[in-house]
Amino acid sequence: MKGLLDRLYERSPVHKMAPEEKILIFSDLHIGAGGRSDDFKRNSLLYLKILEEAYSPGYHLILLGDIEELWEDDLVDILATYPEVFRWHREYYRAGRLHRVVGNHDIFIEENRFLQRTEDKLRELGREDLVPLLPPPSLPSLRLELPQGEIFLFHGHQLDFLNNSLWKISRFFVRYLWKSLQALFRITTSSPARAWKKRASLEGKYYRWAESRRKVIVCAHTHRAAFASRMGKSEGNGEKIAEMPLPLYFNSGCGIYTDGRITAIEIRSGEIALLAFHLEGRHLKTEVLGRERLKNIFSRVLP
Ligand SMILES: [Mn+2]
């Protein structure tokens, strides 16, 4: 029976990856407007450093959803708070090296109209300088075609009932209620999904779909990084992890770990890796939480 993910897969844009191409996949940065509820703030310098250092080596960026925190903040304020971040995104996009996949916190009703309205607002405020920094149009999902096989990327809210079917109500809830609660009690989380203890069940859903279709997938949304169906780095409580025998589930994690780390999935030179970045002084440090030849992954996943 065809489900929601099958339909998402079928209408997904395809990116054919050249053998020498390098890709970094980031998600769940939740870039806000610098206020007390802005969880990105503490990692913003680290993210800028990563963007800066990955540019000359020719990396492509895949932004896998929940990049701008539009549930809590206005895009105008987000752009004005972090113009450097959006300037880098623009640079990558201009070079044909940025793919933006939608999440549930950076989705808008009628995207083109929303971006146009934001542009008008920026001009009214005399901030024409920020107009070129508006995020590029988003993709619903992305299929990466590699010489070794195919990887399907989607944010993951599609299987999360409250965050998908009811996202307009959810957004209302977050913007008007959650934000004040968060500021009031200084709660450091920008995804109430985490508090709803359904992460393991979502991961199980992603996994079962991928296993039944024999697909390698990269998701986001849960703020728990995963490599080859092993959990990498987690934010929040360590609830039970779903049983996953095949190494086909990957998750890029998030950009707002409270220990000052940002995780990413890297694809290059026939290998896939889960990386965790942090700053030591002004130096960018990279930990490899997992690395494997794609050939080995696909030989175990494909029937
Ligand atoms: Mn999400």
Going from the Cα of 100 to the center of ligand 1, the distance in angstroms, rounded, reads 14
- Nearest CA-CA partner of 145 in 184, 105, 99, 204: 99
Going from the Cα of 170 to the center of ligand 1, the distance in angstroms, rounded, reads 12
Q: Kind of pairing, strands 224-227 and 60-64?
A: unpaired
pLDDT for the residue 195: 46
Going from the Cα of 195 to the center of ligand 1, the distance in angstroms, rounded, reads 13
**Over residues 270-283, mean pLDDT:** 97
What are the residues facing 286 on neighbouring strands?
277
Sheet harboring 216-219: ordered strands across? 14-16, 142-146, 149-153, 216-219, 249-251, 224-227, 230-234
Going from the Cα of 169 to the center of ligand 1, the distance in angstroms, rounded, reads 15
pLDDT one-digit tens code per residue, 46-64:
999 999 999 999 999 999 9
Going from the Cα of 81 to the center of ligand 1, the distance in angstroms, rounded, reads 21
CATH code, domain carrying 297: 3.60.21.10
Q: Model pTM?
A: 0.90
Q: Kind of pairing, strands 98-101 and 60-64?
A: parallel
The answer on pLDDT for 174 being more than 80 is no
Tokens of 90: 């623009």
Ligand 1 is an ion; residues with CB less than 5 A from it: 66, 103-104, 157, 221
Going from the Cα of 178 to the center of ligand 1, the distance in angstroms, rounded, reads 15
**Domain boundaries, position 75:** 4-301
pLDDT one-digit tens code per residue, 110-163:
788 899 999 999 999 999 999 999 999 999 999 999 999 999 999 998 887 666
Domain count across the chain: 1
Going from the Cα of 303 to the center of ligand 1, the distance in angstroms, rounded, reads 31
Residue 71 confidence class, pLDDT cut points 50, 70, 90 = confident
pLDDT one-digit tens code per residue, 3-44:
889 999 999 999 999 989 999 999 999 999 999 889 999 999
